[in-house]
């Protein structure tokens, strides 16, 4: 089920992806019909433009601060904070500064 990650090893999720200048970097850890889990790093001012998800998407910021637009609402999340973006509601993600997040989508 898990891929791209060592098993039975203590780790920090934020260490699984590095920052790259001018880019959004992702590493998928789980992808199946029920759930996907991905770790992202965003360089400052990088973004994932507005889109919809086929499932409820839960994001947890692992480092830094990101801006999440869900429908007409804007949320600034910092390390340790979590937000659920409901299925079918347009949302976008923007790097207010360099930041890392974990995304879990339940279908």
pLDDT at 1 over 90: no
Q: Are 87 and 58 in contact (CB under 8 A)?
A: no
Q: Match domain 23-106 to its CATH number in 2.40.50.140, 2.60.40.420, 2.60.120.10, 3.40.190.10.
A: 2.60.120.10
Cα 61–62–67 angle (5° rounding)?
30
Q: Is residue 81 very low, low, confident or very high in pLDDT (cuts 50, 70, 90)? A: very high
Q: What is the structure's pLDDT at 70?
A: 98
SS3 (DSSP) at 16: helix
Length of the chain: 107
Residues 6+ apart with CB under 8 A from 73: none
The 10s digit of each residue's pLDDT in 16-72 is: 999 999 999 999 999 999 999 999 999 999 999 999 999 999 999 999 999 999 999
pLDDT at 100 over 90: yes
């Amino acid at each position: 089920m898990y891929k791209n990650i060592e098993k039975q090893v203590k780790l920090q999720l934020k260490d699984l992806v590095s920052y790259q200048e001018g880019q959004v970097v992702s590493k998928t850890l789980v992808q199946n019909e029920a759930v996907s889990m991905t770790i992202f790093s965003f360089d400052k001012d990088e973004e994932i433009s507005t889109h919809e998800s086929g499932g409820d998407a839960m994001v947890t910021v692992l480092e830094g601060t990101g801006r999440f637009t869900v429908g007409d609402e804007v949320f600034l999340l910092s390390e340790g904070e979590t937000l659920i973006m409901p299925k079918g509601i347009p949302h976008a993600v923007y790097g207010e500064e360099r930041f890392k997040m974990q995304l879990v989508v339940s279908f």
